[in-house]
Structure 1
């Protein structure tokens, strides 16, 4: 258990009965089911970190946290968080997204770094995973500029990642990078 988030399987392995788990997870109870098989053991609404932990537990050890949540962990806390935690999963994994969870299957699993037991996409991949989904041109520009300014990735790394990845949603980030770098 980290940050008050654990799996049902871990609770059962530690001797907590399924009946007790179900009882404590009822409305008004002290625990909350965040995702199937994932429980928040602290009262109240989950923090973003607890949501990220729940997403990682739900999707398994081969999943990768990407997008703005990964960029926060890499040292860019000023970026506004999107409504959902973006997680890359294996192409053969068939989990469903939930209220705060955006799942994306990928055949091109990025290299990862591990921080606080979370597998994070590299800054270049995390940036472009977020950028491909950003609909607002000003926010897209601010996202790319913040990453470049912080030195988390270079324009060349971002362009290389754009070329290597999916072409879906790549036109706007490519144009914004051209604008930021002067061509």
Structure 2
């Protein structure tokens, strides 16, 4: 299905009343996020939610966390309930129960894959681990990335040292223990 911003439809000449009519209950379209539509009546897939989150967050947004890791080549990681997206610190969009929007002054240079702007693997896994409340699952994320060869412990530690200290204790202790062995 197609995900599109309502502003793009209006720019293409679709009147607002037609958009509203098609998005009524039982209609052929649905609002997936404010200002973002799914041009279909079926429930949105995870891929639809990812596209919608990026469209909602704006053109500088970068996909991070487990969804980015899936696209980088780790499809077996369990998906969290929300799509994690980074946005510039100046943006004031807020997430919902399907999207975790995180403002950052350290917006990574995106790696483009499958048409999506992705955080590099080290940033993506650390963002996921920082938001994972269960330490065993956070360790599992870090271990999966290290085993895959997407990044090394020194790369992860360097990214961890450069980033926010919030939520960094669990990944930091795991990586320090790993590098001391």
Q: Distance in 1 between matches of 2:177 and 2:127?
A: 19
User: 1:181, CA displacement in angstroms?
Assistant: 4.1
Q: Distance in 2 between matches of 1:142 and 1:89?
A: 26
User: Which among 118, 121, 124 is matched to residue 120 of structure 1?
Assistant: 118
Q: Give the aligned CA root-mean-square deviation in angstroms.
A: 1.2
Q: Secondary structure at the match of 2:102?
A: strand
Match of 2:30 in 1: 32
Q: Distance in 2 between matches of 1:48 and 1:181?
A: 35
Match of 2:156 in 1: 158
Contact 1:140–1:176 (Cα < 8 Å) also in 2? no
Match of 2:137 in 1: 139
User: 1:182, CA displacement in angstroms?
Assistant: 4.5
User: Which among 44, 62, 65 is matched to residue 63 of structure 2?
Assistant: 65
User: 1:44, CA displacement in angstroms?
Assistant: 1.4
Q: Distance in 2 between matches of 1:81 and 1:182?
A: 30
User: Which among 52, 68, 72 is matched to residue 74 of structure 1?
Assistant: 72
1:88 aligns with 2:94: no
> Unaligned stretches of 5+ in structure 1?
none
Contact 1:85–1:102 (Cα < 8 Å) also in 2? yes
What are the Cα deviations for residues 88-130 of structure 1, in whole angstroms up to 9, with x where unaligned? 1111110111120101110011121112322110000000000
Match of 2:172 in 1: 174
Q: TM-score, normalised by structure 1?
A: 0.94
User: 1:9, CA displacement in angstroms?
Assistant: 1.5
Match of 2:51 in 1: 53
Q: Secondary structure at the match of 1:162?
A: helix
Q: TM-score, normalised by structure 2?
A: 0.95
Match of 2:127 in 1: 129
